[in-house]
Structure 1
């Protein structure tokens, strides 16, 4: 009789582990779907970010052609040498291939109003 109870307990444990495994697989499928959505959104945002950088660079080149004051030319030179010229980050190094919209605005954004 003792063996019968042990076998019953083993079957119950096996059934419990089977349910837990199924629940885990279901959770992994949900996470996989969410991950796919996040990766798709990330790819979309990366493309949009590249497009915005192109627009900013076009505006930057256009502003360069229009001419700058001597002080803005100095800011431009510092920026091209790899330093921030915006108020928040002034003097800190730019990362490789980093552009800063605030720096570009400081150099080119309002020079027609001055």
Structure 2
């Protein structure tokens, strides 16, 4: 094996390890984000026992916020639901309920990032 071939192999291995590390970090980041979102949704679900003030659901390919008891949209969230995960889309199809505007704003921030 020549020095030139050894360098090629070395740099190929370094590139492969770098790409693998990047993919691992991205995957872990998404797992942490999902866990955080599930925790907030679980908190929102326990709040659902109270009278919900807002409902977020999918309408026309977009996430839309409705006030309790109203059919007219209160707020349009600038996110295409096709870009969300299957789990998020299923939750939006059922409707996600919030009893405070602060938890609603946190949820909007989470799905928009």
Provide TM-score, normalisation by structure 2.
0.50
The answer for unaligned runs of 5 or more in structure 2 is 65-74, 103-113
Q: Which residue of 2 is the match for residue 110 of structure 1?
A: 101
TM-superposed CA distance for 1:42, in Å, is 2.8
Secondary structure at the aligned position of 2:26 is classed as helix
The structure 1 segments of at least 4 consecutive aligned residues displaced by more than 3 Å after TM superposition are 80-83, 92-96
Counting only pairs closer than 5 Å after superposition, residues 26-105 of structure 1 correspond to structure 2 as 26-69=10-53, 72=54, 76=55, 79=57, 83-85=62-64, 86-89=75-78, 93=81, 95=84, 96-98=86-88
Provide TM-score, normalisation by structure 1.
0.50
Q: Which of the two has greater helix per residue?
A: 1
Which of the pair has more CA radius of gyration? 1
Q: Which of the two has greater strand per residue?
A: 2
The answer for unaligned runs of 5 or more in structure 1 is 1-14
Equivalent pairs counted in the alignment come to 85
Q: Distance in 1 between matches of 2:35 and 2:87?
A: 15
Pick 1 or 2: higher relative contact order, CA cutoff 8 A, min separation 6. Answer: 2
